[in-house]
Chains A and B, each alone.
Chain A
Amino acid sequence: MKIKSLAKILLTLLLVFNFSSAWAANTIKWSMQGDSLTLDPHAQNEGPTTMVSRQVYEALVTRGLDMSIGPQLATKWKAVNPTTWYFFLREDVKFSDGTPMTSEDVVFSILRAKQPTSDFKEYISSISSVKAIDKYTVQIKTKEPNPILLNQLSNIFVMSKAWATKNFSIVPQNWNASQETFASTNAMGTGPFKITLREPNTKTVFKKNGKWWGNVEHNLTSIELLPIANAATRVAALLSGEIDIVTDAPVQDLGRIGSSGGHKVESTPQMRTIFLGMDQGADQLRSGNTGDNPFKKKEVRQALYQAIDIEAIKKKVMRGLSEPAGIITFPGVTGYTKALDKRLPYDPEAAKKLLADAGYPNGFDVELRCPNDRYVNDEAICTAVVGMFGKIGVNVSLNSQTKSKHFKELKNKKGDFYMLGWGVPTLDSHYVFHYLYDTGASWNRVNFTNARVDELIKVMEGEVDLDKRNAAIAEAWKIVKDDISYLPLHHQVISWASAKSVNVPIRPNNEPLFRFSSKN
């Protein structure tokens, strides 16, 4: 009796406490240099876009704070044979409009992500069929045994079939063609937050989703995303308390933020490699002056590679916060080795000689395209390499623009020479090859093509014997590294700066998980 009443009191207190904490507005104001490109969860496979979607949408499985894969919308799964999987869904999940989530929605979402306008179609190209077995069971078949299916599914967000149908958003927005749809400016998912206001590049308001199925571990009532492109202003906003957390704190200001008393700075190597791509497919450079395409010659690519003083960039542009890279993948990804990550030496004299040997003793003209609000100091890095290329006689003009334009033009095959950064959410080398090296792949804008590499990619997709698979990955890396198809620059180190009262755990993929965050 006594225990019971005590429990009652405790319960009431707990309720009251919960109630009052729900009433007290607790908002984290979050800033970074650029905004999500679209709210359509399948239209753009881009870091900040996924960061925003992740707060609202959920996937069958997901990575936790420690980056390990765990259940989300599916509670468990099993593979009855190497190519047939069953996923058993959580039965208490509701979308934020109150409708229950069922296997119909999961099937719809996976098929949606396979549409031509989806930017995630390569992610799950191995899936040959998906169907609903019953209300809460989904069967997925793959063409070949797929050792990384779960990794891939962790980024396929689930939408409501009814909502998408009602709002004419059955297929993903055609982002490359500047299409706008209802789903590109509105979001409705099963996640811990829902978006109540969306002003692109200005303000996005997330409110706590009261219908969320999970255990609420955060104490937030809302999140506001306020992108600020200018680095100095972003820091000013943080220091003045207008912003609580910046997930891409400018490297030059970390010291100042850390010494301010009310703020803290955390840095971690990010799972992202920055590199330059050179179109080797075109017969003639669009921005060139030689009438041919110098990038077709390996000597030229190597010359540009060896003209880059990456240590100077690390010291001056990145202020020590970068890790020079030899390949476009980083520690922690299957297939990464220290030996592969070693760079060719910086040697401008050798570079000049290589250029002359290739038949360009006086260099050539080309335009370098860069985003100016995507990666840490992206524009400054580009300006720096332009100067370095100039020293070996290659006259590079810089075209830096906002990321939405940069990516759109890249996807529409404009430009010869460009900057890009690549993260590996699946933590497997296959992801890099599949997007960047596979013949005709969507982000293979250098037009790299190699029959052996294509074969090896097939092996990575279907081989369950891990030793054989790893051998294939190693061989593929060796081929592309020797070919110098891309110019790797560095692995990014990210820094989050926040008010001391705010606790958002930093993650190496740079994705904040606000469901684990708090503000006091």
Chain B
Amino acid sequence: MVMLVVAFVSFSLFTFVGDPVHNMVGEETSDVEREEIRETLGLNDPIPVQFMRFVGNASKGNFGISYQLRRPVSELITERLPATLELVFVSALIALITGTLLGVYTGINRKSFLSDLILAISLLGVSLPTFVIGILFIYLFAVILGVLPSFGRGEVIELGFWTTGLLTISGLKAIILPSVTLSLFQMTYIIRLVRAEMMEILQMDYIKFARARGINERTIHYKHALKNGLIPVITIAGINIGTLVAFSIITETVFQWPGMGFLFIQAVKFVDIPIMSAYLVFIAFVFVMINFIVDILYYFIDPRIRVKSGAANG
């Protein structure tokens, strides 16, 4: 459903914004020639026919040719896909691990000074625009200290259609600043979420019962409380992966990371409609996929849902 709506939006983009013919030929082309091109491109067909063709092509990964770069959009996207996904993956990992740890800490030690500090910093994190964080990092680590690169992916290794920067030292160094920058915003959310969950769960009966049974605090915190607290975290983290993909636009621009977000920004500046619509479809696809995966994960982590959905289906 969502996919269909997005497909329609990107199709409308394609069809109604900017004349595709105008973008393909020069200003001196005659009207007759233009009409011929329109005909061969099928732009004179009824709109529903055009839409069906668009969906058909899109599902095959065919989004036409970039106005600006003059190369098939699908090719451009697949080239840049690994860069963005690696960045998002590393960021999500950082946000999830660090966010959970800090969230648990602040949830357990509610009154400590460190907890207050972490929370204050996390609110500051929400107020700091991603690009400002990026600039601060570049200034600190690349300009003043000169220890980390502020540009690009470093050396990449080709593994078939995939290129990875995670297997070389320069690639690993290059991913540190952008991924940390990208993860901060999500991390603050996860800290607050885990903290709230921990606080709620620690009040529950079964925890009190566990305490009464004399199980030590560590086991209670990490085995009983955290395990249950993680369920909402997984949902949010899942949904936020989509947000990370979108926010990578900014991070990629600041660090000149050769991913899809960078491509998209160029496309917006040059009104490169095929790339814009393809990117939109891609993002929607990511969202739908993530929702799907989260549902499955849920199913495995929380036995209650298994029972419920089984009952609902039956």
Contact = CB atoms under 8 A, between A and B. Distances in A.
Interface stretch (A83-91, A173-181, A372-380, A456-464): A173-181
Given A202-B69, A233-B256, A240-B142, A174 B151 contact: no
Interface string A218-261: 00000000001000010011011110000000000000000000
Interface string B155-189: 00000000000000010001000000000000000
B26 interface: yes
B69 A236 contact: no
A178 B22 CA distance: 10
Contact of A242 (B25, B68, B152): B152
A241 B70 contact: no
B151 A233 contact: yes
Interface string A401-412: 000000000000
B283 to A, nearest CB: 22
Interface in B38-84: 68-71
A236 B68 contact: no
B262 to A, nearest CB: 10
A241 B68 contact: no
B205 interface: no
B138 A236 contact: yes
Contacts of B142: 236, 239-240
Interface of B, secondary structure class, is loop
B256 A177 contact: no
Nearest to B27: A177
A240 B68 contact: no
Contacts of A199: 69, 71
Contact of A178 (B27, B174, B266): B27
A179 B152 contact: no
Q: Which of B68, B69, B154, B174 has the most CB of A within 10 A?
A: B69
A271 to B, nearest CB: 31
Interface in B69-116: 69-71
B27 A242 contact: no
Interface in A164-222: 174, 177-180, 185, 199-202
Contacts of B154: 242
A297 B307 CA distance: 89
Contacts of A236: 138, 142, 149-151, 256
A240 B26 contact: no
Interface residues of A, number: 18
B69 A240 contact: no
B28 interface: yes
Given A174-B28, A177-B26, A241-B170, A200 B70 contact: yes
How large, as a class, is the contact surface on chain B? 10 to 19
Contacts of A202: 69, 266
A322 B234 CA distance: 59
A178 B25 CA distance: 7
Q: Which of A185, A200, A202, A228 has the most CB of B within 10 A?
A: A202
Nearest to A261: B146
Nearest to B256: A233
Given A236-B150, A236-B151, A228 B28 contact: no
A240 B151 contact: yes
B162 to A, nearest CB: 19
A179 B28 contact: yes
Contacts of B25: 179-180
Contacts of B170: 241
B256 A178 contact: no
Given A233-B256, A241-B170, A177 B150 contact: no
A240 B175 CA distance: 13
B26 A174 contact: yes
Interface in B107-151: 138, 142, 149-151
Contacts of B68: 200-201
A199 B152 CA distance: 18
A174 B29 CA distance: 11
B152 A240 contact: yes
B149 A241 contact: yes
A240 B149 contact: yes
A241 B148 CA distance: 11
A236 B134 CA distance: 13
Interface in B4-55: 25-28
A252 to B, nearest CB: 13
A240 B150 contact: yes
A180 B29 CA distance: 12
Contacts of A185: 70
B18 to A, nearest CB: 14
A185 B67 CA distance: 13
Given A241-B149, A242-B152, 5 more contacts: A174-B26, A177-B26, A185-B70, A200-B68, A239-B142
9 contacts: A177-B26, A177-B27, A178-B27, A180-B26, A200-B69, A200-B70, A233-B151, A233-B256, A240-B174
Q: Would you list the 6 A-B pairs with minimal beta carbon distance, nearest first? A: A240-B149, A179-B26, A177-B26, A237-B151, A177-B28, A242-B152
